[in-house]
Amino acid sequence: MTGAGVVAPMRARLPHALAVAVPALTLCAVAALQLWLAHASQLTPWSGGGFGMFSTIDGLRTRHIHSVVLGPGWRQELEIPLPLQEDAARARALPDERRLRRLGEQLLARSPGAERVELRVFAARFDPETLQPAGAQIAVLDVERDGP
């Protein structure tokens, strides 16, 4: 058998091996990204691929946002309006600066006379000994109105 006879079947098998490996490598990459985001950016393990979803109750239902608008001499706690609930859910799932800033700007646009909005994201945490629940602040952002 010549060298050319051995190389041709190996070349034919390479695309097949690559096609078999790509889905597994993709799943591993998604899992690694989700784990990194969960630890580095407070992504809920129930989001971003959901590889950690059965390991925790930290999901959208156990997170909440406190929003307070402030004006000259006044302060008011604000409920997130229905049209902004989807943006609020994204901010609860991954409370990074970009998502919180977008939500804060939208809240300011709906609050005449307000100069600033304070956003605080909380997640439920449980004491390991007593299992008592408590809200732990996981993200904070203050958004100020640009211009008049």
- Please give the helix or strand (H or E) that residue 121 lies within, else none: strand 116-126
pLDDT for the residue 6 = 56
The 10s digit of each residue's pLDDT in 69-108 is: 999 999 999 999 999 999 999 999 889 999 999 999 999 9
pLDDT per residue as tens digits for the range 14-72: 677 777 888 888 888 887 877 777 766 777 766 655 555 566 666 667 789 999 999 99
Predicted structure pTM score: 0.69
pLDDT at 91: 93
Q: CA geometry: angle at 42 spanning 36 and 45, to 5°?
A: 70
